[in-house]
């Protein structure tokens, strides 16, 4: 199951954005930009930015998430978002003793597909273990022959073995990561990935991330969500036709 934690974010995120906006539109000095920024004034500045479409001030605030229980399929999708920073559990250095995996709900709810899926995972695990073992023995022999001390040779041989054995691991393989995005990039991420046309796993993750940032910066993320939440649906002929339902859901998230 997907688990997302908001590990950290810029302190007083909305006040910082309002301060940056105030600098743009007044002759206040850096020392003065944070002064007298009451919650009402912060709200006013933020709403003005939204109305003007002036998005760069929201780049100053960042949110860092800890994400667990997602598949390598999701990893391939989320890392396409270039305006973000990622630290991902390495399959190169961390041996998949008995790898965990994500079962798509549609596969899980059907006995036949579930059985086939689990059988495939079992076979993958067996192949990974066998490859790791065979490669480990080969590398250990070669490294020992080069005169490398046994302890170092074993550690090197294991690393070399799992580096290649991981090629048989499936897209379903579970992973975890730490992800940081600024608010502007997050709005783009939510626009694309909360949409009902996005793939189910990343949509579920994006929706959980949105619920967390809404607590930390409610005004900035007030209208966040798929493109249809505050504008005509951008999907054209591919639209799901559920604009009102989506608006209600995401505005009340
Ligand atoms: C429903 C769906 C289906 C998809 N299907 C596919 C698919 O079949 N194949 C596939 O390869 N990808 C696919 N993608 C991925 C998609 O093309 C994007 O790579 C991904 O969503 C990242 O979005 P982004 O570029 O807006 O985000 P980011 O990389 O975070 O970029 C944010 C914004 O910065 C700007 N930007 C960033 N880099 C550049 C640049 N080099 N030049 C100009 N502007 C830039 C753009 O305005 C961009 O929107 C799909 C995405 C979705 C949501």
Q: 24-33, 53-62, 99-108: which range is least confident on average?
A: 24-33
Q: Is 38 exposed, middle or buried (0-12, 13-18, 19+ CB in 10 A)?
A: exposed
Alpha helices in 146-234 (DSSP H): 150-165, 183-193, 200-216
Cα 117 to middle of ligand 1, angstroms: 31
Cα 195 to middle of ligand 1, angstroms: 14
pLDDT score at 227 = 95
Contact 143, 51 (CB under 8 A): no
Our answer on whether the CB atom of 238 is closer than 6 Å to any ligand 1 atom is: no
pLDDT at residue 246 tops 90: yes
pLDDT score at 53 = 82
What's the pTM? 0.94
Residue minimizing CA distance to atom 42 of ligand 1: 82
pLDDT at residue 84 tops 90: yes
Q: If pLDDT is split at 50, 70 and 90, which confidence band does 245 have?
A: very high
- Reading the block at residue 87, the tokens are 């630290």
pLDDT at residue 237 tops 80: yes
Residues involved in catalysis:
193
- Reading the block at residue 119, the tokens are 């059988």
The closest-lying atom of ligand 1 relative to the alpha carbon of residue 192 is 53
Q: Is 21 exposed, middle or buried (0-12, 13-18, 19+ CB in 10 A)?
A: buried
- Reading the block at residue 21, the tokens are 């906006």
CA–CA dist 233, 236 (Å, integer): 7
Q: What is the mean pLDDT of residues 141-165?
A: 96
Q: 12-21, 45-54, 143-152, 155-164: which range is least confident on average?
A: 45-54
pLDDT score at 33 = 86
Residue with tokens 């170092």: 152
pLDDT at residue 61 tops 90: yes
CA neighbours closer than 13 Å in the CB half-sphere of residue 82: 0
Cα 66 to middle of ligand 1, angstroms: 22
Contact 183, 61 (CB under 8 A): yes
Q: What is the mean pLDDT of residues 172-188?
A: 97
In angstroms, the Cα distances linking 12 to 19, 179, 235 are 11, 20, 35
């Amino acid at each position: 199951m997907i688990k997302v934690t908001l590990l950290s974010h810029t302190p007083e995120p909305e006040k910082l954005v309002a301060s940056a906006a105030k600098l743009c539109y007044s002759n206040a000095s850096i020392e003065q930009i944070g002064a007298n920024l009451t919650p009402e004034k912060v709200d006013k500045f933020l709403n003005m930015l939204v109305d003007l479409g002036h998005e760069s001030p929201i780049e100053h605030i960042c949110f860092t998430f800890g994400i667990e229980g997602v598949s390598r399929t999701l990893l391939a999708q989320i890392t396409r978002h270039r305006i973000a920073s990622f630290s991902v559990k390495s399959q190169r250095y961390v041996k998949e003793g008995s790898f965990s995996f994500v079962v798509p709900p549609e596969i899980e709810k059907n006995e036949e597909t579930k059985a086939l899926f689990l059988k495939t995972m079992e076979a993958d695990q067996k192949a990974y273990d066998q490859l790791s073992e065979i490669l480990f023995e080969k590398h250990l022999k070669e490294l020992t022959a080069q005169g490398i001390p046994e302890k170092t040779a074993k550690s090197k041989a294991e690393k070399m073995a799992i580096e290649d054995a991981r090629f048989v691991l499936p897209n379903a393989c579970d992973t975890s990561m730490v992800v940081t995005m600024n608010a502007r990039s997050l709005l783009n991420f939510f626009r694309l990935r909360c949409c009902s046309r996005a793939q189910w796993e990343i949509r579920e993750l994006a929706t959980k991330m949105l619920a967390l940032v809404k607590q930390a910066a409610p005004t900035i993320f007030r209208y966040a969500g798929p493109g249809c939440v505050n504008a005509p649906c951008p999907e054209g002929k591919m639209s799901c036709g559920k604009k009102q339902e989506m608006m209600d859901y995401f505005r009340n998230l």
